[in-house]
């Protein structure tokens, strides 16, 4: 049988080639679809951990710390270089008990290029590193770049990192999120950015379970406290030690110049529903802390919101006892104001052993002694008064020692009976009594400089 052939025209051949290419393309598309579906249901094999590479070159470190963009562009060109661990080694003195002397020991500190650039606000340098493959959430040297932005108050770099997908809840080696490191007034913008990108406002640190609200309250940052409360922070949330944000604020208000800002913090927390009587560590209430720090304004605020002036802590000390312990340290800040405030809110006479803590400040000692209907023996405090102070206030100390153990005047006994009857209502009931003004004033334990 003769072999038959068929001649194709050029247009027919082009049509056949085009059809074959389309068929091959469709086959490749189906193969990719099958591979993608397989990956979706089968876990990817774990990647081997990348072995860190270190850079100890001072010239490279200097380019990063000074924000030299041209040098940075010439050094960091790919993913490998941008993720180098920047390591510095310094010598520090360490005591060696076996040798009995101080020796120099190397101290290594590690960070990343992105941490340095972002923490110092070099946004152009940080953008270059990110575009060249820097890992945005890499925790190097204990922190991620976003931690450094929050701690240093660098909102521009924080915004850049978040735009590149940084996790607003990334934890440091110590278990703190970036929001926990917003500890200065200029970090407010960073806190706002973190919350806008999904930071958990009530996230606690890993070990102590301290929230951002605890941190802001402890630092006296009223604007931060207001921001967190607006985003749903819980003012009753307790740390692992049992501290509420209000406890933290009152415990941190240690200096007289801090009084105003900590009062603003306490006002916002109390307005949000914080419990003024919540006992924290060692059963200290916020009032115990405020009195122990010599803060009459803070104590007045807490008492106005219902704090109990008579509740003891785990050692049996009342807020008045704490105020007496602080008299010597804060004697130049009128500690008698706090004592008078507590006595007007129901605090009773203290144990005689507490008199030695306030005896070197005559106004405080006078107030406390006038709370007794019979002054206790002077042996508990008279020996603690320095001779030069006794000479300076001889009239008061002599009258106090003379009246010790002796019955007081009937007028004073009547005052004690009225105040005992009114109890915690003294501060608001005494001014309303239908009595002559001098007598109302006498009921409020005015300072006279002597006892009779």
Instruction: Please check whether residues 341 and 396 belong to one and the same domain.
Output: no
d(CA 156, CA 159): 5
**Model pLDDT, residue 50:** 65
Any domain includes 434: yes
Q: pLDDT averaged over the chain?
A: 90
Asked whether residue 2 carries a pLDDT value surpassing 50, the answer given is no
> Is the confidence at residue 16, as pLDDT, over 90?
no
Asked if the model's pLDDT at residue 40 lies above 70, the reply is no
Burial class (CB in 10 A: 0-12, 13-18, 19+), 3: exposed
Of 148, 171, 194, which residue is a domain's last? 171
Tell me, yes or no, whether 338 and 263 share the same domain: yes
Gap between the Cα atoms of 36 and 39, Å rounded:
5
Q: How far is CA 381 from CA 40, 197, 322, 335, 362, in A?
A: 80, 60, 17, 18, 12
Q: Is residue 183 part of a domain?
A: no
Region 57-76: mean pLDDT is 95
**Per-residue pLDDT at 148:** 97
Range list of β-strands (E), 355-424: none
CA–CA distance, 287 with 301 (Å, rounded to integer): 9
Task: Tell me, yes or no, whether 298 lies in a domain.
Answer: yes
Residues 362 and 341 in one domain: no
If asked whether residues 312 and 419 sit together in one domain, one would say no
Does residue 362 lie within any of the structural domains?
Answer: yes
* Same domain membership, residue 443 and residue 423: yes
Q: Are residues 158 and 62 in the same domain?
A: yes
8 Å CB contact between 149 and 157: yes
- Same domain membership, residue 302 and residue 278: yes
Does residue 33 form part of some domain?
Answer: no
How confident is residue 44, by pLDDT bands cut at 50, 70 and 90? Answer: low
Q: Does some domain include residue 164?
A: yes
Q: Are residues 294 and 384 in the same domain?
A: no
What's the confidence (pLDDT) of residue 229? Answer: 98
Q: Which of 324, 348, 372 is the last residue of a domain?
A: 348
- Rounded to 10 degrees, the C-alpha dihedral 323/327/330/336 comes to 80
pLDDT at 43: 58
* Residue 210 domain flag: no
Q: What is the DSSP letter of 377?
A: P
- Rounded (5°) CA angle 109-114-115: 45
Predicted pLDDT at 1: 42
Structural domain boundaries, residue 335: 239-348
pLDDT tier at 173, thresholds 50, 70, 90? very high
In this predicted structure, what is the pLDDT of residue 348? 87
Residues 135, 161 share a domain? yes
Per-residue confidence band for 380, with pLDDT thresholds at 50, 70 and 90: confident
Provide φ and ψ at 326, rounded to 5°: -90, -5
Q: What is the mean pLDDT of residues 25-37?
A: 74
pLDDT confidence bin for 64, thresholds 50/70/90: very high
Top-confidence residue, 146 or 282:
146
Read off the pLDDT of each residue in 248-263 and give the average, rounded to a whole number: 94
Question: Contact, 56 vs 87, CB < 8 A?
Answer: yes
Least confident of 30-34, 294-298, 364-368: 30-34
- Answer yes or no: do 373 and 340 share one domain: no
Residues 247 and 342 in one domain: yes
In a domain, 335, yes or no: yes
Domain boundary residue among 139, 171, 203?
171
**CATH code for position 247:** 1.25.40.20
Instruction: Say how many domains are in the chain.
Output: 3
226-238: average pLDDT? 97
**Residues 167, 57 within the same domain:** yes
Please give the Cα distance from 284 to 274 (Å, whole number).
Answer: 15
C-alpha span between 206 and 175 (Å, rounded): 5
Mean pLDDT value across residues 266-270: 98
pLDDT grade, residue 46 (50/70/90)?
A: low
Q: Which of 285-289, 380-384, 403-407 shows the lowest per-residue confidence on average (mean pLDDT)?
A: 403-407
Q: How does pLDDT run across 71-126, given as a tens digit for each residue?
A: 999 999 999 999 999 998 776 777 777 777 776 667 788 999 999 999 999 999 99
């Amino acid at each position: 049988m003769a072999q038959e052939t068929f001649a194709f025209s050029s247009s027919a051949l082009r049509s056949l080639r085009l059809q074959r290419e389309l068929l091959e393309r469709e086959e490749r598309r189906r193969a990719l679809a099958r591979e993608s579906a397989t990956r979706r249901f089968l876990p990817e094999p774990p990647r081997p951990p990348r072995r860190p590479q270190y850079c100890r070159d001072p010239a490279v470190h200097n380019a990063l710390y000074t924000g030299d963009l041209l040098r940075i562009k010439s050094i960091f060109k790919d993913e490998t270089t941008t993720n180098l661990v920047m390591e510095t080694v310094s010598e520090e003195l360490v005591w060696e008990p076996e040798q009995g002397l101080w020796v120099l020991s190397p101290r290594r500190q590690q960070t990343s290029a992105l941490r340095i650039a972002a923490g110092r606000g070099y946004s152009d340098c940080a953008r270059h590193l990110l575009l060249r493959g820097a890992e945005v959430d890499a925790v190097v040297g204990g922190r991620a770049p976003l931690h450094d932005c929050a701690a240093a108050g660098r909102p521009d770099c924080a915004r850049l990192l978040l735009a590149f997908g940084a996790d607003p809840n990334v934890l440091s080696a110590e278990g703190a999120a970036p929001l926990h490191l917003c500890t200065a007034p200029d970090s407010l913008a960073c806190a706002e950015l973190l919350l806008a990108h999904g930071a958990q406002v009530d996230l606690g640190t890993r070990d102590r379970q301290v929230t951002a609200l605890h941190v802001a309250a402890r630092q006296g940052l009223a604007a931060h406290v207001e921001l967190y409360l607006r985003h749903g922070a819980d003012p009753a949330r307790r740390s692992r030690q049992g501290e509420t944000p209000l406890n933290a604020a009152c415990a941190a208000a240690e200096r007289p110049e801090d009084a105003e800002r900590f009062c603003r913090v306490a006002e916002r927390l109390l307005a949000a529903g914080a419990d003024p009587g919540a006992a924290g560590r060692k059963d200290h209430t916020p009032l115990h802390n405020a009195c122990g720090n010599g803060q009459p304004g803070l104590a007045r605020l807490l008492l106005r919101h219902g704090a109990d002036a008579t509740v003891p802590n785990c050692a049996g000390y009342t807020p008045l006892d704490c105020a007496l312990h602080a008299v010597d340290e804060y004697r130049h800040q009128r500690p008698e104001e706090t004592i008078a405030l507590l006595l007007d809110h129901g605090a009773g006479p203290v144990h005689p052993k507490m008199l030695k803590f306030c005896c070197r400040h005559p106004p405080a000692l006078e107030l406390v002694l006038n709370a007794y209907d019979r002054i206790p023996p002077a042996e508990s405090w008279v020996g603690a008064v320095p001779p030069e102070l006794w000479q300076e206030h001889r009239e008061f100390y002599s009258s106090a020692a003379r009246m010790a153990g002796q019955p007081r005047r009937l007028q004073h006994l009547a005052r004690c009976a009225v105040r005992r009857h009114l109890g915690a209502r003294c501060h608001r009931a005494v001014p309303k009594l239908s009595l002559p003004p001098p007598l109302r004033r006498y009921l409020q334990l005015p300072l006279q400089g002597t006892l009779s």
